Amino acid sequence: MKISAYGYTNRGGRPHNEDRICWAAEEGGGVFVVADGLGGHSRGEVASALAAAAVFRGCREREEMTREAMEEVFQKANEAVLEGQKTPGQEEMRTTAVALDLRGGRAVWGHAGDSRLYRFSSGGLAFVTGDHSVTYKKFLAGEISAMDVYHDDDRSSLLRVLGKPGARGDTGAAELQSGDAFLLCTDGFWEYVYQEEMLADWLKSTTPEQWVELMLLRHIRRTPPGNDNFSVIAVFAEEEL
């Protein structure tokens, strides 16, 4: 399986970027991580950097990736953020994270918070992670619609993030199919590009970079002044020619 990827991050309308992305696409596989330091907590950029590095390193060090292994990777990432909180001025730092590990014809992922993973397969949206937020709980309970999730006042009230004792990641796994595509992104991205638009732009794209560029054209038209940092990694899995 040929794996290709493209990543983009932008500080948006904020003074600095608290997002962190890292990835490595190799022959037949790769590891991809996106983290979003919480803007309301001091040194979010440090938290996201620590978590992203820990998740990326943890995945790369594993000889085999399973859901259980991904859970352990997120546990180690949480411990790294907690250790970083011992530095003065960093006591309250927190971060979201989402990760994807591709190898051996399988996809394994994990997430904590409201950074998302989308999987597109067989010409449609196959899966999207569920946000650990008050807003998403309201959606699951039928109190608001799917479109309301993008604008609800509670969408920044997160129920699970890295940097809290006992925090963990939710995980999932699936067989990797030729033609699959994945999108990892922060809330500063997905709040302004809807799922149907992600799908439409994917179907028009021949490379991950083209896919991201098409979505960014939608994003830039909608973001208000002072908008949040936004980051995205797009991944294509294709049969070798």
Q: pLDDT category, 41, cuts 50, 70, 90? A: low
Contact 195, 43 (CB under 8 A): no
- Residues 6+ away with beta carbon under 8 Å from 112: 74, 78, 96, 97, 98, 132, 160, 161, 162, 167, 168, 169, 170
- Give pLDDT, residue 136: 92
Q: How many CB atoms lie within 10 A of CB 35?
A: 35
| CATH class label, 2-238 | alpha beta
Q: Which residues contact 229 (CB under 8 A, 6 or more apart)?
A: 9, 10, 11, 12, 14, 17, 18, 19, 36, 39, 186, 188
pLDDT digits (tens, 9 = 90+) for 133-166: 999 999 999 999 999 999 889 888 999 999 999 9
pLDDT, tens digit, 9 for 90 and up, residues 90-100: 999 999 999 99
Whether 134 contacts 149, CB under 8 Å:
no
Q: What is the pLDDT of residues 44-76, one digit of tens each?
A: 999 999 999 999 999 999 999 999 999 999 999
Residue in the structure block whose two tokens are 């927190």: 94
Q: 98-137: per-residue pLDDT in tens? A: 999 999 999 999 999 999 999 999 999 999 999 999 999 9
In this prediction, residue 240 carries a pLDDT of 72
Residue 170 scores a pLDDT above 80? yes
Q: How many CA atoms lie within 13 A of 73 on its CB side?
A: 34
Cα 22 to Cα 6, 19, 40, 151, 210: the distances in Å are 10, 10, 23, 28, 19
Give bridge partners of residue 185 from the DSSP assignment: 116, 232
Instruction: Name the pTM for this structure.
Output: 0.96
pLDDT in tens, 214-240: 999 999 999 999 899 999 999 999 987
Does residue 191 register a pLDDT over 70?
yes
- Whether residue 172 is predicted with pLDDT greater than 80 in this model: the reply is yes
What residue segments make up the domains of the chain, in order of their start? Answer: 2-238
